[in-house]
Amino acid sequence: MVDKAYLLNAEEIRDFIVNGYIQIQADFPTNLHEHIYQQIEDVLAKEGNPGNNLLPRIPEIQRVFEHPKVCGALTSLLGPEYLMHPHRYCHLNSSGSDGQTWHKDDYVFDQKVRHHRFRWVMAFYYPQDVTEDMGPTGVLPGKQYYNTVSDTNPAQSTERAEALCGKAGTVTIVNFDSWHRATANRSDKKRYMLKFQFTRMGEPSQPLQGNGHTNCQSADDDRHQGLSRHVWNWLSQSNGADSMHVPSDKNGSVSQLIAGLRDTDESVRLNSAYALGGMGESVVPALMQALRDEAEVLAEKNVTKTAANPQGGNPADLYSAQALTEVGQSSVPSLISALGGASWPTRAAAADTLGNLGKLAKEAVPALIRVLRDESSWVRRNAAEALGTIAGSTEDIVPALMQVSTDSEMLVRLNAVMALAKIGQSTNDIVPALAGRLSDEDRYVRYYAASGVTADWNARSTKRFMGRPSDLALVPHNNSRESLLTITHLLLPATTVASLHRKLGGCLACLYPLNSSILQDNNLIRSTECGPAMGDNKAGGMLCFKDAIPQHSFCFYVERGG
């Protein structure tokens, strides 16, 4: 539990919503950051960039993300059950570099709609002092909600840019959809930035708590006050447009605003969407027609690779969908009807919009379960993600998601397993559903499956391992990059581990003894250490599931007497 003193205050959250970033200082003694810096130097020189194995290769980095200020900021933005994603990278900006062009990062091996209700953030950590001449990361404040910028070439772009400088220990948390780049390094020094990703595992369920959260005061420099108010209302659990009913004559006629959704100026499109959404239920028929029209026109364009979506986007990324989300619960019946329409782009957009509404769309669960069998993989993918976000009654959702978790399309499996992991936060029956996916051919599907298994831990364990169960302690197999074994350590009750053992079979697992040295030795996993039989699990131990790709295994620590 994070001390409320470390939660962000209302002004800090408002600034994050408007500008897309906030800087936190992990104010450990300087020698910790110096030690991390030196280890980075050694690893990159001797082994090359470890990629996702950055954290297991240099476990001390975990301490930075356990700092109460960092945890407090992440909790304020993503809720208490946020998850550290396994994708991370050490960015080296060498002396003399010209920097990068402006771009957005992909959601790793997924194609999500870039919702204004942000559920993902990135964290940029500097292990050394970074001044402007060293090529710090640059961002475009306030442009995180835009799919385009004036020019991706920084020499030609006209937007205001901000260089993220800071002392060693600076952690900048940014909206995942922020335009950013490495700037030119004109110094004679190397600049390291360690990038980590975090995601929300549950929708906001209570008003914001902490340092003076009352309301979101609009800022004079905020060009999209309706959008900012919408995000604030979502975070603070206000009802949105359903309780506002903004008169149409305040923002222009419905027909003018519908036309504004197609304007060549992206700022006009954004403001039109929230002006329409603010009108409430009366505008739903016009917005549904706009959704159908927009979905047909933009489906192919939206999946094209661009600087905003280097791997391609989601066909459901539509301005009319953002407006319907602002309308709120009154849009749900029409969106449910659209799930049965003839056009797959409309069905995909309806599924995603229902998911973005979260718990307000709980009546859509049966219809979303039905379209998990849709002929379009986009509809199936978006429906699976939506069910995880809505996360209502699990009686019907879990079996349906279990079935689609074996889908031939990786994007569908990925979102089905992530949905199960989210639902697992509120049920202890999720282990059998996820066990089979621990051997999925995709490493991120496997990771989400392991994360979902921790729900049983969260529900019943009274112990803690490395602070937060969802941050996952990772250690290397040995010092060779080629044979580095990323191990996800999860402390679980013995009954849960026994269930996994029965599900997967003894040939897939071996149990290691649990003793004090296991929690301290970074080279603890060696093939000669195979320990006692599973029947002795109540004495405590570690169950290691080795998947098809030997670079990643999941090790579950068993609680003594659990």
pLDDT tens track for 350-379 = 999 999 999 999 999 999 999 999 999 999
More confident residue, 539 or 347: 347
**Percent of residues, the chain, with pLDDT higher than 70:** 74
pLDDT number for residue 47: 84
pLDDT tens track for 116-160 = 999 999 999 999 999 999 999 999 999 999 999 999 999 999 999
Range scoring the smallest mean pLDDT among 170-179, 421-430, 510-519:
510-519
Residues 475 and 48: their CA atoms lie apart, in Å, by 18
pLDDT tens track for 474-529 = 333 333 333 233 444 444 445 555 565 555 543 233 333 333 333 333 333 322 23
- pLDDT exceeds cutoff 70 at 553: no
By C-alpha distance, which of 392, 393, 317, 308 is closest to 352? 317
**Contact partners, residue 523, CB within 8 Å, separation at least 6:** 475, 476, 477, 478, 479
- pLDDT exceeds cutoff 50 at 9: yes
pLDDT confidence band for 40 (50 / 70 / 90): very high
- pLDDT exceeds cutoff 80 at 83: yes
pLDDT confidence band for 451 (50 / 70 / 90): confident
pLDDT tens track for 230-281 = 999 999 987 554 444 444 445 569 999 999 999 999 999 999 999 999 999 9
Residues 112 and 302: their CA atoms lie apart, in Å, by 11
3-state secondary structure of 122: strand
pLDDT confidence band for 558 (50 / 70 / 90): very low
- Could you tell me the CA-to-CA distances from 194 to 122, 235, 348 in Å, in that order? 10, 28, 35
The side-by-side arrangement of strands in the sheet containing 541-546 is 473-475, 486-492, 552-558, 541-546, 509-513
pLDDT number for residue 292: 98
- Could you tell me the CA-to-CA distances from 273 to 6, 179, 356 in Å, in that order? 35, 21, 15
**Contact partners, residue 192, CB within 8 Å, separation at least 6:** 37, 40, 90, 91, 92, 93, 126, 127, 128
More confident residue, 491 or 289: 289
pLDDT average, residue stretch 457-467: 40
What's the chain's average pLDDT?
81
pLDDT average, residue stretch 16-34: 95
Helix axes 344-357, 284-302, angle to 10 degrees: 110
Q: Which helix (H) or strand (E) holds 248?
A: helix 248-251
pTM: 0.84
- Could you tell me the CA-to-CA distances from 272 to 45, 228, 246, 261, 279 in Å, in that order? 52, 14, 13, 6, 11
Contact 544, 479 (CB under 8 A): no
Contact 422, 199 (CB under 8 A): no
pLDDT number for residue 252: 66
Q: Going from the N-terminus, what domains does the chain have, and what CATH number goes with each?
A: 4-199 (2.60.120.620), 239-359 (no CATH), 459-558 (no CATH)
